[in-house]
Structure formats: structure tokens, C-alpha cells
């Protein structure tokens, strides 16, 4: 039984294969306390960890010091304004202006499956039951349900919160986090992912100081800059030894959400930590009329005593099996060629078909036509919103192009940016009020465009219908759904003043609704999300698209860092990665074509170049890369990922591997970023193999045809010879009999 109520001890216990999560009811008033989360323990009475027999005591015993009690009790979900001076999880304003709230336990339910979250992406099919703790604050007439899902096999727990106004007056929800977790500080370090355009998701470690340390986004999307994730690591768990990050205790939390978020750790006077995560409270205020409810997005929590590697495996498993949906989730994706870096806006059917023809001959399976095929868009200054084909570029429209591409035996995919509106568009001229803007200001342009107000049904319907018309007009089997600017000037022509603070979240709900409708209309469509590269690469979007474009930086060496940070949380099957032309358009670097292939093989794989203009020598390598893709993609998509070495931290080389679930096959990717003079080979120790199996090693000349035991490969290691030149790579394949 993965969820239990230990009635005698008044403890709720959630067990996964290797972890336990315990919540206790502290006294007659119903204070819910966080007792423990960590390595699996027995069904003990651990209520003593709530320390209610120590000063300042539980109010039931000593009411003189209620504020001190509130300020020190490890609340499972903290209230606001009543004496807990640490971070609140919820703020509720009454019509009179008061803001006190404290949800107390009322009753519970243990369910077979987690309830669905209305309008929000969430994990599903949990194999270990679910718990709902019904809490309430009678002074406000507010009900607060804390929802927990247990993923036994994946060692993960999900949390979300639903609040309902059961009173007679309206209430305004000014903050609602999805997670609050109070815990002892054992000298943890904090890991987050930071970045910028073309530099997404780089790992950032810091030690914890007293007070609050946080990452967040107020950009209306998860952002290039920060990521809805944090981990707490036992000191040393991050340090790269040879073999990397497979030791030490790690807590990982991520939010299944694609808008403004906050992820924060607060170190208190008592050396405890309060970890919170949820929608960013700044700019957020949601009106709850009597009877109305609000659902906070889901967060996924993991604990591992096998370092970051353990955390990664849990996240990958949950996301792969319980979050990504649709026909492609377990399927090999078509190898695509995208014309963005090949032509930018300067293309027509003839040019595209030439690229497609050459690509088809090399084994590439799908042509993706990127930005610039609609309206009069010849640069980024116009036409977003006018989803009508530009017949000057594409005579005969999309259907003629699709027929041409299909005749070559290839599929056709297209780029769309449905959430946007260009001031220079028919749509804007007809509906200037459809852009998000403040009435008293000229809205700020970003990439020459505004954001559509997706909180409005008529706007969502227009977007849906125009996208459907495009997709029904030809045989289009893939869509790259882009989103190229962050939100600003938050104002909606329709939302009344006391609902203005709902716009950020309503926008995200609008995006989710649109993608859900799209998938219902086109169930076979392969959707790839994108946002100026990887600004909305998050678990929320993965519920709708099985893959997301990782970054506009396609340089293989920069990608090592970006893909390391991305793969820390997300399965390789979700990572859009392409081979592009050199000198690379983002950094001007020249790397061997072969290395570009090895790095892109860790993701969904494709090309982003004009294949007709490659050198003979480079073009000739494509069929070999495609052969490798077909040979290894099942393993890459479904296998377990292990980090062996991190270029981001050692500045010299990168190494990771994937191992099949039955441990019979493994693939190691090794990239020597910088060569060194006068050194001997490098010894790397592998991971995740079966110590009892013997593996045939392929790809290392000096060991070709040798069988080596898994125990030796993991403990003694392999020698990797230096390669002449920088940016060189190799794949080492291993099979056991």
C-alpha cells in the first residue's frame, strides 16, 4: 500500500519503492505538519519530529505563544498573516481587506488514482494511489485540498492544491503555491538552471545562506533565464569525480507549468528550510466568487540517495511514462530537415523541394518549412496572425508543396506562431484590442510583435480555427509551435479591474486549451513546442508535445552544456537537437560534421541546414549518421541516462551514456572538447551496467572485439585515447550476450 493513514499515530504515509513521505496531524485544532521526506522508513510513530512537546509548544498545551508556534511549526502548507513569519503558501484577501489564512486539517480520502487537474497538464496513471487532505479555514469559508499522487516505481510524489470559496462573499487569492516543504537543513547546496537566449538551462550551484534564495519568472512563460526546478544536494553530491554525480542525497522539485513561477528556499533562525514552489505571486490575483475554485499546477518531487543521477532517472521515468502522451511518445520520430538556418525567410516551393529532394536521397524523412510562408512575411516585422499562405512563395499553396514533398516519400511539417500578432497584419488592423496591452500605454514591441490575449474565448477560437484551416488544407504531419516573445504591458480589454491579476495565468490556460483542442482535432499530429529556442521547455508543455526545441544555439559544443542541463530533468526523447551548418550561426565555431551528429543523436535528431550546399565530404556522412540514428534511437529514447563527465564543469570533455532497461545494451557518447598535448589516454568509469554481464565493446580501436565485464567497466573503467584536434567525438557501443 503506497498511501496509508496510520490512525494510531495520526500520520499519513506515502511510500514509493525507495522513499517515504510523512505528514502528521499535530493536535485537536488540526495543524498539519511535515514530518519527513527521504529514504524509505517503516511505519513508525514519527510524530515526535513535529516537536510539539518542546517550547514554544502546540497552542493546545500553551496558548500564550501562538505566534511563536506558528513561526516554528513545520507546516505541510503554510498560512499567512497569523504569526508564521516564514514564506506563506497562500494569501487570501477578503472584501474587507484582511489577509489572514491558515488551512487546518478536516478529513482525508485515499484514492486509487490522482484526480485530474482542470485545464492543467499533469502526470497520470500513478501506480501508487493518491491522497487528498481536505483542509479548511472556517473564518474565511475557504476549503483547501492538498492532493498527493504516488509513483511507486519512479520514486516520485506529486503535489497540487485546489481551493474553493465555500463562503458567501468573494475572496481574492493573491498567492497559491503548489508545494511547501519544511525540513531540517543538513548543509545542503541548491542547484537551479539558469540561462539566456541560446544559452538555456546551465547548471548553477550555490550554498544556502540565511533568508530566502529563489529563482523565478515574471515573463509570462517559464523563460530562457530561469527554470521551474530546484534541487537540494547533500554537500559533495554535485562534485564531479571520475564517474560524476551518483552519490549523496538529493531532493528535486519541478513544476508542471509554463508560466510565471517561483521556486524558493528559505533558511530560518532554527536552521530549518522552507522550500516552496508554484505560480509566482507577483502580478497574480484571482477572484473567487462563492462556489468557485482554483487549481494550482502540479509539482513533481523526488528524493534520491544516488545523487543527481537518481533524481534524473525518477524525473525521466515520470515524464516519459506518465506525462508525455500521444502516438509518438514511444515512437521513433521522423528525421527532419528544417529550412530555418538554411534559408531564413528567403525561400519558395522550388528551393524547398530542391532541399527535400536531396535530403530524401540521403534518408531524411520529413521537410519542415519554418517561418515566412504566410501573409507577406519576408522578415520578422509582419503577418503574425494572418495564417494564409503566401502564394508568391508557394504557388499552389501548402497542398502543392505537400504533394511535392510526399512524392519524394517524405512527410511535411510547418512552423506556426499562433499566440502572436504583428502590428502589421490584417488581424491587428481588424482587432487591435486582441493584443495584450494596457489601455493607457503604447505596448512594448518585442521582435516586432505583440502577444494575443488568449484569456478571451473569441481570440482562442480565432487561433484554433485558423490553425485548423491551415492543417486541413494539406497533408501536414508535424507542427513546430513557436512563441517568440515574453509578455509585457499586462492588460486585457475584457477582464474587469478586479480580475486583471488573472491575465498571466489565464494566458497559460489559454495556451493549454488551444494545444489540447489541436491534438483532439489532429490526433496523429507530431507537435514540437518551441519558444525562441528553449524558453518554454518545461514539463507543462511536454504534456502536449512529446518534444521541444532545445535552443536556437545549434553549435555542438554549446549544446553539450544546454543538453546536459536539459537532460538533468527531461528524457532525451523530448530534446529537439539538429545538425547545423558551420561556421555555426550562433557562435561562428567550426566543429567536425561527425561530432555535430553525435551530439544531435542524443535528441530527436534532424538537420537544420541547406543540404544542397554542403561539401561532398559532409553530405556523404549523412547516410552514416542516419544509420546510427536508426540503430540507436530506441536505446536513446527508452534507455536510462547516466552522466559520466560534464564539460560544463571540467571545461575539457563531456561524457554521458544510456543503458537499456534490461542492461544488455549501452551507448556512450564522448566528446573531447579541447585536446591536450603530451597526455595519456583518459580513464572513464561507466555506470548502470550489469556487473555480472560481459559486454562486447565497439567503437574503440584498441578494444575492438573485446568482451569486458560490467563490473570492470564500472569500477576499473575504459581508456579513451586522445584524438587529434579539438571538438572531436566518439560513440562507444556495448552489447552483452
**Closer residue to ligand GLA in complex, CB, 533/571:** 533
Q: Determine the interface stretch with ligand GLA among 89-97, 122-130, 311-319, 525-533 (rule: CB under 6 A).
A: 525-533
Q: Determine the interface stretch with ligand GLA among 168-176, 254-262, 496-504, 529-537 (rule: CB under 6 A).
A: 529-537
Using CB under 6 A as the binding rule, whether residue 121 contacts ligand GLA is answered as no
Using CB under 6 A as the binding rule, whether residue 415 contacts ligand GLA is answered as yes
Compute the distance between CA of residue 425 and CA of residue 405 in angstroms, rounded to an integer: 29
- Please give the C-alpha separations between residue 660 and each of 45, 121, 243, 272, 629, in angstroms, as whole numbers: 40, 28, 19, 40, 16
Candidate list 21, 177, 284, 340; residue touching ligand GLA; CB under 6 A? 340
Site string for ligand GLA, 571-610 (x = CB under 6 A): ----------------------------------------
Q: Are 489 and 437 in contact (CB under 8 A)?
A: yes
Q: How far is the CB of 565 from ligand GLA (least distance, A)?
A: 17
Using CB under 6 A as the binding rule, whether residue 558 contacts ligand GLA is answered as no
Using CB under 6 A as the binding rule, whether residue 552 contacts ligand GLA is answered as yes
Q: Which of 145, 482, 555, 610 is catalytic?
A: 482
**Closer residue to ligand GLA in complex, CB, 549/653:** 549
Angle between helices 349-362 and 622-638 (to 10 degrees): 80
Candidate list 15, 266, 482, 594; residue touching ligand GLA; CB under 6 A? 482
Q: Does residue 553 have an active-site annotation?
A: no
- Which among 295, 300, 335, 296 is positioned nearest to 320, based on CA atoms? 300
Using CB under 6 A as the binding rule, whether residue 421 contacts ligand GLA is answered as no
Using CB under 6 A as the binding rule, whether residue 478 contacts ligand GLA is answered as no
Specify burial of residue 469 (Cβ count, 10 A radius: 0-12, 13-18, 19+): exposed
Q: Are 133 and 116 in contact (CB under 8 A)?
A: no
Q: How far is the CB of 93 from ligand GLA (least distance, A)?
A: 40
**Closer residue to ligand GLA in complex, CB, 415/641:** 415
Q: How far is the CB of 609 from ligand GLA (least distance, A)?
A: 13
Per the document, the length of the chain is: 737
Q: Does residue 482 have an active-site annotation?
A: yes
**Closer residue to ligand GLA in complex, CB, 47/484:** 484
Compute the distance between CA of residue 52 and CA of residue 26 in angstroms, rounded to an integer: 7
DSSP 398: H
Compute the distance between CA of residue 531 and CA of residue 569 in angstroms, rounded to an integer: 18
Compute the distance between CA of residue 720 and CA of residue 714 in angstroms, rounded to an integer: 14
DSSP 3-state assignment of 414? strand
Query: Three-class SS string for 565-625?
Result: HHHCCCCHHHEECCEECCCCCCCCCCCCHHHHHHHHCCCCCEEECCHHHCCHHHHCCHHHH
Using CB under 6 A as the binding rule, whether residue 387 contacts ligand GLA is answered as no
Q: Are 49 and 37 in contact (CB under 8 A)?
A: no
Candidate list 216, 259, 501, 532; residue touching ligand GLA; CB under 6 A? 532
Q: Determine the interface stretch with ligand GLA among 115-123, 490-498, 528-536, 609-617 (rule: CB under 6 A).
A: 528-536
Candidate list 226, 298, 371, 564; residue touching ligand GLA; CB under 6 A? 371
Candidate list 14, 530, 579, 720; residue touching ligand GLA; CB under 6 A? 530
Q: How far is the CB of 585 from ligand GLA (least distance, A)?
A: 11
- Please give the C-alpha separations between residue 588 and each of 580, 583, 584, 585, in angstroms, as whole numbers: 12, 5, 5, 6
Q: How far is the CB of 549 from ligand GLA (least distance, A)?
A: 6
Q: Which residue has the cell 549501452?
A: 666
Candidate list 84, 155, 370, 419; residue touching ligand GLA; CB under 6 A? 370
Q: How far is the CB of 328 from ligand GLA (least distance, A)?
A: 20
Number of residues that bind ligand GLA (CB under 6 A): 11
Q: Which of 15, 137, 552, 555 is catalytic?
A: 552
Using CB under 6 A as the binding rule, whether residue 87 contacts ligand GLA is answered as no
Q: Which residue has the cell 568482451?
A: 707
Q: How far is the CB of 315 from ligand GLA (least distance, A)?
A: 24
**Closer residue to ligand GLA in complex, CB, 82/368:** 368
Q: How far is the CB of 343 from ligand GLA (least distance, A)?
A: 11
What is the full DSSP assignment across 39-97? E---S---GGGG-TTSTT--TTT-GGGHHHHHHHS-BSS--BSSS--S--SEEEE-TT-
Compute the distance between CA of residue 664 and CA of residue 596 in angstroms, rounded to an integer: 27
Q: Are 699 and 733 in contact (CB under 8 A)?
A: yes
Q: Determine the interface stretch with ligand GLA among 285-293, 427-435, 527-535, 663-671 (rule: CB under 6 A).
A: 527-535
**Closer residue to ligand GLA in complex, CB, 532/546:** 532
Q: How far is the CB of 266 from ligand GLA (least distance, A)?
A: 36
Q: Are 688 and 657 in contact (CB under 8 A)?
A: yes
Compute the distance between CA of residue 69 and CA of residue 55 in angstroms, rounded to an integer: 8
Using CB under 6 A as the binding rule, whether residue 367 contacts ligand GLA is answered as no
User: Which residues does 474 contact at the CB level (< 8 Å), separation at least 6?
Assistant: 397, 398, 399, 401, 402, 403, 412
Query: Which residues are known catalytic residues?
Result: 482, 552
Residues forming the site for ligand GLA (CB under 6 A):
340, 370-371, 415, 482, 484, 530, 532-533, 549, 552
Amino acid at each position: 500500500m503506497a498511501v496509508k493513514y496510520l490512525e494510531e499515530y495520526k500520520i499519513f504515509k506515502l511510500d514509493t519503492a525507495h522513499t517515504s513521505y510523512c505528514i502528521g496531524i499535530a493536535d485537536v485544532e488540526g495543524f498539519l505538519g511535515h514530518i519527513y521526506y527521504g529514504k524509505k522508513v517503516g511505519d513508525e510513530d514519527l510524530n515526535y519530529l513535529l516537536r510539539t512537546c518542546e517550547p514554544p509548544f502546540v497552542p493546545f498545551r500553551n496558548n500564550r505563544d501562538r505566534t511563536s508556534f506558528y513561526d516554528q511549526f513545520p507546516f505541510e502548507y503554510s498560512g499567512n498573516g497569523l504569526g508564521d513569519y516564514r514564506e506563506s503558501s497562500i494569501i487570501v484577501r477578503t472584501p474587507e481587506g484582511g489577509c489572514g489564512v491558515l488551512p487546518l486539517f478536516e478529513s482525508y480520502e485515499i484514492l486509487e488514482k490522482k484526480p485530474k487537474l482542470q485545464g492543467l497538464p499533469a502526470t497520470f496513471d500513478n501506480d501508487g494511489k493518491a491522497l487528498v487532505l481536505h483542509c479548511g479555514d472556517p473564518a474565511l469559508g475557504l476549503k483547501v485540498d492538498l492532493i498527493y499522487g504516488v509513483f511507486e516505481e519512479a520514486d516520485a510524489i506529486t503535489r497540487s492544491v485546489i481551493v474553493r470559496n465555500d463562503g458567501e462573499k468573494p475572496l481574492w487569492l493573491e498567492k497559491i503555491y503548489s508545494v511547501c516543504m519544511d525540513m531540517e537543513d543538513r548543509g545542503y547546496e541548491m542547484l537551479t538552471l539558469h540561462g539566456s537566449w541560446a544559452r538555456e538551462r546551465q547548471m548553477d550551484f550555490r550554498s544556502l545562506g540565511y533568508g530566502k534564495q529563489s529563482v523565478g519568472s515574471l515573463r509570462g512563460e517559464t523563460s530562457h533565464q530561469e527554470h521551474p526546478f530546484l534541487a537540494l544536494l547533500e554537500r559533495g553530491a554535485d562534485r564531479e569525480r571520475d564517474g560524476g554525480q551518483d552519490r549523496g542525497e538529493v531532493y528535486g522539485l519541478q513544476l508542471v507549468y509554463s508560466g510565471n513561477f517561483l521556486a524558493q528556499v528559505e533558511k530560518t533562525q532554527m536552521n530549518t528550510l522552507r522550500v516552496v514552489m508554484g505560480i509566482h505571486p507577483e502580478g497574480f490575483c484571482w477572484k473567487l466568487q462563492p462556489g468557485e475554485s482554483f487549481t494550482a499546477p502540479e509539482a513533481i518531487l523526488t528524493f534520491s540517495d544516488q545523487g543527481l543521477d537518481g533524481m534524473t532517472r525518477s524525473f525521466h521515468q515520470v515524464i516519459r511514462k506518465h506525462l508525455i502522451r500521444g502516438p509518438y511518445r514511444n515512437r521513433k520520430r521522423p528525421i527532419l530537415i528544417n529550412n530555418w538556418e538554411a534559408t531564413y525567410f528567403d525561400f519558395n516551393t522550388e528551393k524547398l523541394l530542391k532541399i527535400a529532394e536531396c535530403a530524401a536521397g540521403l534518408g531524411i524523412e520529413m521537410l519542415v518549412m519554418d517561418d515566412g510562408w504566410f501573409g507577406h512575411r519576408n522578415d520578422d516585422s509582419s503577418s503574425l496572425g494572418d495564417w494564409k499562405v503566401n502564394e508568391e512563395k508557394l504557388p499552389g499553396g501548402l497542398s502543392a508543396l505537400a504533394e511535392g514533398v510526399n512524392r519524394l516519400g517524405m512527410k511535411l511539417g510547418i512552423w506556426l506562431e499562433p499566440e502572436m500578432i504583428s502590428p502589421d497584419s490584417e488581424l491587428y488592423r481588424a482587432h487591435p484590442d486582441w493584443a495584450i496591452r494596457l489601455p493607457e500605454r503604447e505596448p512594448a514591441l518585442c521582435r516586432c510583435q505583440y502577444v494575443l490575449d488568449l484569456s478571451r474565448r473569441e481570440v482562442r477560437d480565432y487561433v484554433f480555427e485558423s490553425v485548423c484551416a491551415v492543417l486541413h488544407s494539406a497533408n501536414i504531419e508535424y507542427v513546430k509551435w513557436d512563441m517568440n516573445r515574453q509578455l509585457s504591458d499586462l492588460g486585457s480589454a475584457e477582464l474587469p479591474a478586479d480580475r486583471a491579476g488573472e491575465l498571466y495565468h489565464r494566458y497559460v490556460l489559454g495556451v493549454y486549451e488551444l494545444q489540447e483542442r489541436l491534438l483532439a482535432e489532429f490526433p496523429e499530429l507530431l507537435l514540437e513546442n518551441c519558444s525562441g529556442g528553449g524558453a518554454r521547455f518545461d514539463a507543462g508543455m511536454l504534456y502536449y508535445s512529446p518534444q521541444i526545441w532545445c535552443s536556437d544555439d545549434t553549435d555542438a559544443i554549446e549544446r553539450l552544456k544546454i543538453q546536459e542541463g536539459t537532460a538533468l530533468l527531461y528524457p532525451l526523447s523530448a530534446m529537439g537537437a539538429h545538425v547545423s551548418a558551420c561556421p555555426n550561426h550562433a557562435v561562428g565555431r567550426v566543429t567536425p560534421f561527425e561530432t555535430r551528429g553525435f551530439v544531435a543523436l542524443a535528441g530527436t535528431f534532424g538537420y537544420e541546414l541547406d543540404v544542397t550546399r554542403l561539401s561532398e565530404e559532409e553530405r556523404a556522412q549523412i547516410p552514416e549518421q542516419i544509420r546510427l540514428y536508426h540503430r540507436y534511437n530506441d536505446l536513446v529514447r527508452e534507455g536510462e541516462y547516466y552522466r559520466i563527465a560534464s564539460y560544463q564543469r571540467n571545461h575539457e570533455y563531456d561524457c554521458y551514456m544510456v543503458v537499456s532497461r534490461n542492461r544488455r545494451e549501452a551507448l556512450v557518447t564522448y566528446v573531447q572538447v579541447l585536446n591536450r598535448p603530451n597526455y595519456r589516454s583518459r580513464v572513464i568509469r561507466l555506470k548502470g551496467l550489469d556487473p555480472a554481464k560481459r559486454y562486447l565493446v565497439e567503437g574503440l580501436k584498441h578494444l575492438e572485439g573485446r568482451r569486458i565485464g560490467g563490473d570492470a567497466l564500472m569500477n576499473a573503467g575504459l581508456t579513451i585515447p586522445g584524438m587529434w584536434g579539438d571538438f572531436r567525438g566518439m560513440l562507444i557501443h556495448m552489447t552483452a550476450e
